[in-house]
């Protein structure tokens, strides 16, 4: 293992601030994620959860504060940004599969063109990943021919194909029909058990309770409270957390 | 009661929605036919009253008559050939400028459209200025600008400096080094045609085979490989069989010009339409004292001409050329010989059409790129693909769906706008048709012919683009 890989902390965010014009979207957000840890971020809509997770791989640029991912400081340097993007996989609310490519091509595109993997090797690995997410028979179909749950599982396989050290999930089940949420959560649970470092923005409290090592509650661009699931759900400290929990657990 | 007044019986025909729909259409058709008949009748009456060289009403006999005028460029045309052939030369000239124009306008439009959406401020603004200037001024004005303002301002032939080995740029046109099939490579044209047919067939078969196997992909690579293979075989066959005709003869006039030809009727003199000229054959001229006075190559018509020879030539020798020869333009007095020449008219028309249409295509490309969901960029960038790779492999293939239908319109516009050729005197089909009409008086026939030709071009283009659009459509369900 390389020197920095020994560090326990794989994501370090310190005093991260972001403005959209006048709007202060992230206010001094600081969070450290350890290797193999599963961190779930919850909070009301507009609280900055998605914005924060998207600053980690520079889909959003932050204006002040420091972010270090696996020892690589996130600067304006293109090489650093691309190195961090290769280390982090991302799963989106709207899946964002490439509709003009088959499932197989969706998964092998980045390994072939970014990691310069041989096509056959990439396809063999893609088949393994499709088996892992439970839909190997869909390999030659196009995204438009799959259900929402199947599409999101392909999106997870696509992110995993780059062999990332961290997986970021931005509300992965919010766009799904209720009967399909389960199949996606099961894949995520299996991934968490395998020891993947995960940062998950979600409204699935069941998943947060069962899988998270720590839960982060954000509101109005700030981290209000961080705690273990037990602590968080049974004994929240802040009034805002209590109010939020009351509203969703009614 | 309402229910009792509305019957469930079959309604009378004037209230039946089905008969109403049919009756309205029949009525519409009748009106159209009536107007059409009136216009046609009117025209025929007027034509019968008039007295034109074209003969009676809507006679097409004039197409077989001798044209009596020359055409400045395009396929070889002599005044003693017919009006029909003159028109065909015009059609080919339109296709020449149209096909080259469509290809170049697509490349220019694509580059400018991408530049327009790029994050590079300067590049994007430059593209914007280009688009706004050329989209907002009339094409005819631009055409005259290129013709009078740019090409006429190039140096005259006597002062033209060579562009390396490429050729010359002058105010009388561009003269470029080019590769031609020579006398021994005549069959290569057929091999080229055969290569295209074989290539298309192989591409089609390969695609079917891939579809059967359930593997997505295109047969373009396989088709291209087959095309190249056929061409290489053709070249090797031509090379192996290269031989000059046994009855090769030459004519030498005034000691410096003449023609090399296959003497088919064996009378030792060159007879037009009987003997066959020999193109691009290396020749050497000898003087009376046996000294070499000049050497060079025959041109595409088998003719040759040298200027300022040290002595008059009396004898000529030729050698067997390779199937393909490189011909460089060489200054000969007030002109160039050899190579390929592009006239100022063609260059101005091509430039104007490409730059003008390119501006519209740039806007279409920009709209297409913007139509692709932002999430596609994000997903691709999150996977570590660069901006260029994202554009090439993720965004543009999807933008194509939005781009193709308006792009088809631009292709049609370019071909139709090429009729402005008449403003600079490029002999396209419209220009030639006007000359024909002026000489024969076959006004109506001329216009009908021109309209039918453009319509044919447009329909073929549309069919092809619709087919392509279906191919790139997304698979759903």
Q: Quick: pLDDT tens for A103-118.
A: 999 999 999 999 989 8
Sequential DSSP letters for B369-425: HHHS-HHHHHHHHHTT--HHHHIIIIIHHHHHHHHHHHHHHHHHHHHHHGGGGGGTT
The parts of chain B modelled with pLDDT lower than 70 are 1-5, 50-57, 214-217, 475-477
Subunit contact A96:B378, Cβ cutoff 8 A: yes
Q: Where are the domains of chain B?
A: 3-49, 83-153+344-472, 180-240, 248-327
Tokens describing residue A156: 């997870």
- Which chain A residues are Cβ-neighbours of B384 within 8 angstroms? 82, 85-86, 110, 114, 162
Provide the shortest C-alpha distance from residue A243 to chain B (in Å): 33
pLDDT one-digit tens code per residue, B154-205: 888 878 777 777 888 888 888 888 888 888 887 888 889 999 999 999 999 9
Q: CA-to-CA distance for A137 and B418, rounded, in angstroms?
A: 53
The per-residue pLDDT for B217 is 66
Q: CA-to-CA distance for B374 and B395, rounded, in angstroms?
A: 10
Chain B's closest residue to A91, CA to CA, is B379
The per-residue pLDDT for A5 is 47
Tokens describing residue A76: 């304006």
Q: Show which residues on chain B lie within 8 Å of chain A, measured between beta carbons.
A: 214-216, 373, 375-376, 378-386, 389, 393-394, 397-398, 472, 474-477
> Cβ(A38)–Cβ(A185) under 8 Å?
no
Q: CA-to-CA distance for B278 and B298, rounded, in angstroms?
A: 8
Subunit contact B383:A102, Cβ cutoff 8 A: no
The per-residue pLDDT for A1 is 39
If DSSP codes are grouped into helix, strand and coil, which group holds residue A65? strand
Subunit contact A96:B381, Cβ cutoff 8 A: no
> Cβ(B135)–Cβ(B410) under 8 Å?
no
> Cβ(B382)–Cβ(A57) under 8 Å?
yes
Comparing A7 with A152, which gets the higher pLDDT? Answer: A152
Q: Give 3-state DSSP helix, strand, coil % of chain B, rounded to 5.
A: 60, 15, 30
Question: Measured between CB atoms, does A114 come within 8 Å of chain B?
Answer: yes
Q: CA-to-CA distance for B293 and B306, rounded, in angstroms?
A: 10
pLDDT one-digit tens code per residue, A26-59: 999 999 999 999 999 999 988 999 999 999 999 9
Q: CA-to-CA distance for B470 and B477, rounded, in angstroms?
A: 16
The per-residue pLDDT for A150 is 95
Identify the residue whose tokens are 């992110």.
A159
- Which chain B residues are Cβ-neighbours of A90 within 8 angstroms? 378-379, 382
| DSSP for residue A35 | T
Sequential DSSP letters for A189-204: HHHHHTT-EEEEE-S-
Question: Measured between CB atoms, does A138 come within 8 Å of chain B?
Answer: no
If DSSP codes are grouped into helix, strand and coil, which group holds residue A33? strand
Report which of A188, A96, A174 is spatially closest to residue A134, judged by C-alpha positions: A188
Provide the shortest C-alpha distance from residue B395 to chain A (in Å): 9
Question: Measured between CB atoms, does A162 come within 8 Å of chain B?
Answer: yes
Subunit contact B475:A94, Cβ cutoff 8 A: no
Subunit contact A144:B394, Cβ cutoff 8 A: no
> Cβ(B275)–Cβ(B264) under 8 Å?
yes
Give the pairing type, strands A197-201 and A166-170. Answer: parallel
If DSSP codes are grouped into helix, strand and coil, which group holds residue A235? coil
- Which chain A residues are Cβ-neighbours of B402 within 8 angstroms? none
Give the pairing type, strands B257-262 and A88-91. Answer: unpaired
ipTM comes to 0.92
pLDDT band at A2 (very low <50, low <70, confident <90, very high): very low
Question: Measured between CB atoms, does A12 come within 8 Å of chain B?
Answer: no
Subunit contact B382:A94, Cβ cutoff 8 A: no
Subunit contact A85:B474, Cβ cutoff 8 A: no
- Which chain A residues are Cβ-neighbours of B214 within 8 angstroms? 140
Provide the shortest C-alpha distance from residue A242 to chain B (in Å): 34
Provide the shortest C-alpha distance from residue B477 to chain A (in Å): 4
Q: How many A/B residue pairs have CB atoms within 8 Å? A: 74
Task: Output the CATH code of domain B83-153+344-472.
Answer: 1.10.3720.10
Sequential DSSP letters for B194-243: HHHHHHHHHHHHHHHHHHHHT----SHHHHHHHHHHHHHHHHHHHHHH--
Subunit contact A85:B378, Cβ cutoff 8 A: no
Subunit contact B381:A59, Cβ cutoff 8 A: yes
Residues in chain B, total: 477
If DSSP codes are grouped into helix, strand and coil, which group holds residue B15? helix
> Cβ(A164)–Cβ(A87) under 8 Å?
yes
Subunit contact A110:B379, Cβ cutoff 8 A: no
Comparing B285 with A170, which gets the higher pLDDT? Answer: A170
CB-nearest partner of B384 from A85, A92, A99? A85
Cα end-to-end span (Å), chain A: 47
The per-residue pLDDT for B1 is 47
Mean pLDDT throughout A119-146? 93
Tokens describing residue A188: 């995520």
Subunit contact B379:A140, Cβ cutoff 8 A: no
- Which chain A residues are Cβ-neighbours of B383 within 8 angstroms? 85, 89, 109-110, 114, 158-159, 162
Subunit contact B475:A162, Cβ cutoff 8 A: no
Comparing A158 with B2, which gets the higher pLDDT? Answer: A158
pLDDT band at A3 (very low <50, low <70, confident <90, very high): very low
- Which chain B residues are Cβ-neighbours of A82 within 8 angstroms? 384, 386
Report which of A97, A90, A21, A98 is spatially closest to residue A56, judged by C-alpha positions: A90
Helix (H) or strand (E) holding A170: strand A166-170
Identify the residue whose tokens are 């193709």.
B404
Give the pairing type, strands A9-20 and A64-69. Answer: antiparallel
Give the pairing type, strands A38-42 and A214-219. Answer: parallel
- Which chain B residues are Cβ-neighbours of A146 within 8 angstroms? none
The per-residue pLDDT for B166 is 81
Which residues does residue B257 pair with via DSSP β-bridges, in sequence order? B253, B305
Please, what sign has the CA dihedral across residues A69, A73, A75, A81? negative
């Amino acid at each position: 293992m390389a020197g920095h890989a020994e560090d326990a902390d794989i994501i370090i965010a310190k005093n991260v601030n972001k403005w959209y014009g006048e709007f202060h979207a992230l206010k001094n957000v600081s969070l450290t994620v350890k290797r193999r840890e599963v961190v779930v971020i919850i909070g009301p809509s507009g609280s900055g959860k998605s914005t924060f997770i998207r600053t980690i791989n520079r889909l959003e640029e932050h204006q002040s504060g420091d972010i270090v991912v696996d020892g690589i400081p996130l600067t304006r340097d293109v090489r650093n940004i691309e190195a961090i993007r290769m280390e982090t996989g991302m799963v989106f609310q709207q899946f964002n599969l490439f509709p003009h490519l088959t499932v197989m091509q969706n998964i092998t595109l980045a390994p072939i063109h970014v990691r310069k993997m041989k096509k056959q090797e990439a396809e063999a690995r893609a088949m393994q990943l499709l088996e892992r997410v439970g839909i190997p028979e869909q390999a030659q179909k196009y995204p438009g021919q799959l259900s929402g749950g199947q599409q999101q599982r392909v999106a997870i396989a696509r992110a995993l194909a780059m062999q990332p050290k961290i997986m970021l999930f931005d509300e992965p089940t919010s766009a799904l029909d209720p009967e399909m949420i389960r199949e996606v959560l099961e894949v995520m649970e299996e991934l968490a058990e395998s020891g993947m470092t995960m940062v998950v923005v979600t409204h699935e409290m069941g998943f947060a309770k069962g899988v998270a090592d720590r839960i982060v509650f954000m509101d109005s661009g700030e981290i209000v409270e961080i705690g273990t699931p037990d602590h968080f759900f049974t004994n929240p400290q802040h009034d805002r957390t209590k109010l939020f929990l009351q509203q969703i657990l009614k | 009661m309402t229910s009792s007044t509305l019957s469930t019986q079959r309604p009378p025909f004037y209230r039946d929605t089905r008969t109403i729909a049919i009756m309205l259409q029949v009525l519409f058709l009748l009106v159209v036919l009536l107007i059409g008949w009136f216009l046609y009748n009117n025209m025929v009456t007027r034509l019968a009253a008039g007295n034109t060289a074209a003969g009676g009403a809507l006679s097409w006999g004039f197409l077989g008559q001798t044209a009596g005028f020359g055409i400045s460029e395009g396929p070889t045309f002599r005044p003693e050939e017919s009006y029909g052939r003159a028109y065909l030369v015009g059609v080919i000239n339109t296709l020449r400028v149209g096909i080259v124009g469509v290809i170049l306008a697509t490349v220019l439009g694509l580059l400018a459209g991408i530049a327009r959406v790029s994050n590079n401020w300067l590049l994007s603004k430059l593209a914007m200025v280009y688009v706004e200037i050329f989209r907002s001024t009339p094409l005819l004005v631009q055409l005259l600008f290129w013709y009078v303002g740019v090409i006429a301002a190039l140096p005259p032939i006597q002062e033209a400096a060579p562009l390396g080995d490429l050729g010359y740029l002058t105010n009388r046109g561009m003269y470029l080094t080019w590769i031609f099939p020579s006398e021994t490579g005549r069959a290569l044209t057929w091999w080229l045609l055969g290569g295209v047919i074989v290539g298309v067939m192989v591409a089609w078969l390969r695609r079917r085979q891939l579809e059967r196997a359930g593997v997505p992909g295109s047969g373009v690579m396989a088709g291209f490989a087959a095309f190249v293979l056929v061409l290489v075989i053709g070249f090797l066959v031509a090379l192996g069989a290269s031989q000059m005709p046994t009855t090769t003869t030459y004519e030498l006039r005034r000691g410096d010009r003449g023609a090399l030809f296959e003497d088919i009727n064996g009378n030792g003199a060159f007879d037009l339409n009987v003997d066959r000229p020999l193109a691009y054959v290396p020749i050497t001229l000898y003087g009376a004292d046996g000294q070499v006075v000049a050497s060079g190559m025959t041109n595409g018509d088998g003719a040759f001409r040298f200027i300022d020879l040290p002595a008059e030539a009396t004898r000529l020798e030729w050698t067997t050329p390779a199937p393909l020869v490189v011909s460089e333009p060489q200054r000969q007095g007030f002109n160039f010989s050899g190579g390929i020449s592009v006239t100022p008219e063609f260059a101005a028309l091509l430039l104007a059409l490409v730059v003008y249409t390119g501006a519209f295509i740039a806007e279409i490309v920009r709209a297409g790129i913007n139509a692709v969901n932002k999430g596609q960029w994000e997903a691709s960038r999150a996977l570590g693909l660069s901006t260029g790779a994202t554009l090439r492999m993720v965004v543009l293939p999807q933008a194509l769906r939005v781009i193709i239908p308006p792009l088809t319109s631009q292709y049609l516009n370019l071909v139709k706008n090429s009729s402005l050729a008449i403003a600079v005197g490029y002999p396209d089909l419209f220009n030639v048709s006007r000359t024909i009409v002026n000489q024969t008086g076959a006004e109506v026939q001329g216009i009908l012919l021109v309209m039918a030709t453009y319509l044919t071009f447009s329909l073929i283009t549309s069919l092809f683009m619709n087919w392509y659009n279906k191919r790139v459509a997304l698979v759903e369900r």
